[in-house]
Amino acid sequence: MTRCTSKPTVSIIIPTYNRPKQLTASLLSLARLEYPRDCFEVIVVDDGSDQPMGCVVTQVEKRLNITLIRQKNAGPAAARNKGAEHAKGILLAFTDDDCRPHPDWLCVLAKHCTKHSCHLIGGSTLNSLPRNLFASASQELVSYIYQYYNGQNKNMAFFASNNMALPARYFREIGGFNTSFPLAAGEDREFCDRWRYNGFHTMYAPEAVVQHAHAMNLGSFCRQHFNYGRGAFYFHRIRSRRCQIPLKVEPFSFYRDLLMFPLLQSKRLRSFLVTGLMFVSQSANSLGFFWEMWRQKKRVEKGKGIEPFLC
């Protein structure tokens, strides 16, 4: 990265796996950022895609200061850490290959990171596939979780890793993302919890917007939330050990209010369909949670010990 004097330098890190079309759209959106070109770099970490992503990166290398790193498949947490190892910016910004940040996205994140130097800044994520019922249900779930965990508290409890920024030095200081999460399921939640446990603060910047284009069908929707349940088990187990508290999950009211959330936004038929999918998502989530708990219990009984969160 060339010397930048007008803004803090930022390294944007994007993990990718077998999604060249989505990655292309994401990189084109980064090429339209309003941030000075000499003040940010883009690091794409190819997490062992079947088809290398070099041809995608080549399309935008004249418009972006971009680096492509390829690693064996190890999951998005490991890919983000790999990108951070090579980052030259004083700030790190994370997004995903199926996200398209708005032109002012980086300006907003950098402004807040500069003003609040010990904070993790999280932005808002909007569904760009409103006709896809499964994507809409996932968006409603994220909106509810942000409201439930963050509320009006400025020191927010959780941000998704597709839209966050923080000082690189503190990211490295606490050890980056936990690589025992090889799926996109719970690693961002664990990172935010560990960030706050280490005495750092968080802040929500809803004006830092990314559009999320994650098309799903019933099968992929259920698999995603099954894996979220598996990730939730590992998150709660790690947290209980870190804080020396019993392993516990959210109260009944969390799930009751979750199912009611879409209906509070609208009374149209679509809201009832989304509510139905919310029920499906939490059923799959619970199944994943208890399946992983049972699997680990069996390993302990056989004397194999507890293994990392494996696919």
Q: What are the pLDDT digits (tens) for 210-258?
A: 999 999 999 999 999 999 999 999 898 888 888 777 777 778 888 888 8
Residue 167 lies in a domain: yes
Give the C-alpha separation, 185 to 225, whole Å: 9
Residue 276 lies in a domain: yes
Range of the domain at 35: 10-301
Residue 311 lies in a domain: no
Residue 152 predicted with pLDDT over 80: no
Q: Taking the model in full, what pTM does it have?
A: 0.90
Quick one: average pLDDT of 150-171? Answer: 84
Residue 5 lies in a domain: no
Residue 3 predicted with pLDDT over 80: no
* pLDDT at residue 5, rounded to an integer: 62
pLDDT digits (tens, 9 = 90+) for 93-149: 999 999 999 999 999 999 999 999 899 999 999 999 999 999 999 999 888 888 887
Residue 306 lies in a domain: no
| Mean pLDDT over the full length of the chain | 89
* pLDDT at residue 304, rounded to an integer: 64
Judge contact between 209 and 164, C-beta under 8 A. Answer: no
**CATH label of the domain that carries residue 280:** 3.90.550.10
Give the count of domains, the chain. 1
pLDDT digits (tens, 9 = 90+) for 66-108: 999 999 999 999 999 999 999 999 999 999 999 999 999 999 9
Sheet holding 10-16: strands in order across?
66-71, 40-47, 10-16, 91-94, 164-167, 119-127, 201-212, 99-101
For 70, the token pair is: 């390829």
pLDDT digits (tens, 9 = 90+) for 32-68: 999 999 999 999 999 999 988 999 999 999 999 999 9
